[in-house]
Amino acid sequence: MELHVVIDGEKDLAGQVYRQIREAIQSGRLAAGEQVPPSRLLAQQLRVSRKTVSEAYARLTIDQLLVGKVGSGTFVNATTQPRPRQFAGKDLAGGATLKTWLGRSIPLPAPGPDRRSGYDFVGGGGTKSHFPISEWRQCVLHGLRKSQADRGFYSYPEGLPVLREAIARHTSFARGVRCVAADVLVTNGAQQAIDLIARVLLEPGCTVAVEDPGYPSARIAFASQGAHIACIPVDAEGMMVEQIPEQTRLIYVTPAHQFPLGMPMSLARRKALLKRAGELGAIIIEDDYDSEFRYQGRPTDSLQSMDTEGLVAFVGTFSKVMQPELRIGYLIAPPAIRAAVAIAKHLSDWHAPTMMQWALAKFIDDGYLQKHIRRCHAIYGSRREQMLARFATDLAPWLQPIAATAGFHMTALTKREIDIPLLLKLARRVDVGLYPIDVFYHAQPPLQGLFFGYGAIETLDIAPALDRVKAILSEIA
């Protein structure tokens, strides 16, 4: 790699090299400890004499910006601190738009490794210790080989055909979704699928109906397109469909496992929602984020499988089943929006990484995904039963869980007035991570309660964590 130095004319050559390298070091373009090219090599690259470069290096060494190490070369002084780059204040033509983005908070920020508690009930992921890393390594090596054998050019925006076929088989088998490979669009997580639908359907002033409480990232994505957000309350049967306003263009729901409260949408409410969407000509986004894990009751049909008018866009993800870092989701798009979403995907990022697509396709086709789901189902089911037993006994005076038949989180409402911020603070002091549910409400008055993810916490950690929670509740209540 060549060091970026530009020679202008034939005068003061050593001075030109000196000033540009000095500026690169002081601005931070050349980082502390980084090696600079040998004087002979840099002279050849710049087509100047070696004496010119040596003179510049000597001056930089005197200034204590470069340090020579015998037998190793010349390096930027490790003690050098770059100065911050200064810009003159300027009013941007797009300043007003920037302010709207700066005013949006990042919803549900993931706690970094330094902020995670030892006993953490964070949602959205499973414990990595249960992931079949050896099998996944085989699949990744397969993906690498397939990528190497390819022609080395851009791939399909919709996703590799082999992965689209695998996803179509998986969702048909596991969720009863009616689709073929041509209906599937591979995305970078479910969030991109939601964003792409918003891009092709929404414009400033149109109406989107969302659950309240609900998934904040979806609501904010819709609002970023200038849409008016109609926050529809939920009850024990799910979204209260009769409150969806006229002129609604898009409806976002989590019917299998309402986020965050957890109850499934009743069959009657599903039928009412499909009927209402048909009356409005509205597209429904069915976010099926974690329903692979179901613990009781008979399976319920997905909205997509009940759809007779081509209005349901089924969104799924492998982040919950496998690992959040994988960032592969999918959209099973109804015919009306399929081509438009593919164009938006092409313009957004062209396509998802092909090596990971090859790997995931093999992971599904070789049966590793189903084996992993079955294993995790038993583990999460055991954790769920353990937590329900505690809520029914020693935690019963304070917390009442909402009945949930799927997923790997549950919400517990408070039975009496509790200082939730104080509870969270005291829990953090004893290394327990708790999360309130009020952050999921937008327009409706929030209920008081806690969100318990049991995917990422180890089974043996649940009892001591809840013991500490009980001790705090006994103290502050």
Transcribe 38-101 into DSSP letters.
Answer: PHHHHHHHHTS-HHHHHHHHHHHHHTTSEEEETTTEEEE-TT--PPPP-------TTHHHHHHH
**How many Å apart are CA 455 and CA 115, to the nearest integer?**
18
pLDDT band, very low/low/confident/very high, at 363 (cuts 50, 70, 90): very high
Q: What is the pLDDT of residues 364-375, one digit of tens each?
A: 999 999 999 999
79-100 average pLDDT score:
80
Q: Which fold has domain 13-76?
A: Arc Repressor Mutant, subunit A (1.10.10)
CATH of domain 130-366: 3.40.640.10
Which helix (H) or strand (E) element contains residue 330? strand 329-332
Q: Where are the beta strands (DSSP E) in 357-421?
A: 399-401, 409-414
400-405 average pLDDT score:
87
Cβ 236 vs Cβ 222: under 8 Å: no
Sheet holding 435-436, edge to edge: 399-401, 409-414, 449-453, 435-436
pLDDT, the chain, mean: 91
CATH of domain 119-127+371-476: 3.90.1150.10
Which pLDDT value is given to residue 244?
A: 98
Q: What is the pLDDT of residues 225-281, one digit of tens each?
A: 999 999 999 999 999 999 999 999 999 999 999 999 999 999 999 999 999 999 999
Residue found by looking up tokens 């009781």 in the block: 296
Residue 127 identity = T
**How many Å apart are CA 279 and CA 122, to the nearest integer?**
39
Cβ 222 vs Cβ 229: under 8 Å: yes
* Domain locations in the chain as residue ranges: 13-76, 119-127+371-476, 130-366
Higher-pLDDT residue of 126 and 111 is 126
Cβ 264 vs Cβ 236: under 8 Å: no
Q: What is the pLDDT of residues 163-193, one digit of tens each?
A: 999 999 999 988 889 999 999 999 999 999 9
Which pLDDT value is given to residue 179?
A: 95
DSSP 121: -
Higher-pLDDT residue of 369 and 115 is 369
**How many Å apart are CA 450 and CA 411, to the nearest integer?**
6
Task: State if pTM tops 0.85.
Answer: yes
Instruction: Give strand pairing partners of 452.
Output: 410
Cβ 211 vs Cβ 264: under 8 Å: no
Which pLDDT value is given to residue 110?
A: 65
The pLDDT > 70 percentage for the chain reads 97
Which pLDDT value is given to residue 109?
A: 66
